Structure 1
Amino acid sequence: MDLKVKIDPAMLHRSLLYLFFVLATVGAHAAAPSCPALLNHTVERLQDEKPQSLCQYSGKVLLVVNTASFCGFTSQYKGLEALHTQYQSKGLVVLGFPSNDFSQETGSNKQIAEFCDNTFGVKFPMFTKTVVSGAGASPFYKQLLAESGQKPRWNFYKYLIGRDGKVVDSYSSMTGPDSKSLIAAIEKSLQKTAP
């Protein structure tokens, strides 16, 4: 029995192109850095309330801060912006989450955005008003609290997250952005490479 198979060159070409596409896609996904569980959340930007994935900050050192416009620590915005500006090129991103948990952020998202920009020239990423503690805390903050073991005790409580997406430490509101211990921890975290 003589079995002959006739191969259509056009079909072979399409099949090879499809195979190449599949392999290239799989390879691209394998090469892309994975998103740490802590950052696998979507939040809304303060300026336009558009959803934004925190995964975009994978591999960065993050300083997460719950903020408020009418607090004795509100002037920390200036220092946070200075930190962000000074270390941004090295991989630091300050992330601000306005919160009314302590009854000192009563404005709308638009009012908060205008206040931050006009009063302190804030350019670091800010997100919409967020519940940061208790049963109603946002999913991101619930996970942040679970991983750090610390809940914000007041406005301008800070969490330092390393390039690996794990909490390095947390800092009270009393720890200003210019604190030597905070800056040392940021610099140490920036020296580490992303996984």
Structure 2
Amino acid sequence: MAYTLHNLPAKLEASKMATLGYARVSTQDQHLTGQLEALKAAGAETIYREKISGARADRPQLAKLMAALQPGDTVIVTKLDRLGRSTRELLDLIQRIGDARASFRSLGDPLWDTSSSQGRLLSTLLAAIAEFERDLIRERTGDGRKRAMADGIKFGRKPKLSDFQRAEAIKRRAAGETLGAIAKSYAVDISTISRLRA
């Protein structure tokens, strides 16, 4: 639920650049009080708050905050881990904030202020490092697959029929036996038998 600190007239509120806070705790037993106080002291007029695990993909209040962003707005959090559950997600969210021509600031991490050139540089560097790490993982995975295939390891789903059963099923089809009867005898779908080729 959005927590509005000031009831400004709609025209005045729409005309000014807003500071939007986001507060999150992982469980219902934890309290948001400390985060709300820090965000209010930092100038947040509206604070989106939720008690939900960062591992959950669906965070409705964060989605509402992102949808409400206007050019010139600033999103603030008390710590980076309140916004993103991983480096990749954090960088993606900061990119989306930037794409909305808004800025991002973490109160507990002074370097993270994308309204400053230093903060923008840090975001760019970390995004490049994350991309480099993804490329390395893809490269290692590809090399591992090639080595495994060279060693005779097959990837993908295990065939439902052995080589012998496939050859036998093809002969039975040629002899005029129905697909349904053949499939039933091997406990497979009719489509498995229909796809067999001599």
Normalising to structure 2: TM-score of the pair?
A: 0.28
Higher helix share: 2
TM (normalized to structure 1)? Answer: 0.28
- Larger radius of gyration, structure 1 or 2? 2
Higher relative contact order (CA 8 A, sep 6+): 1
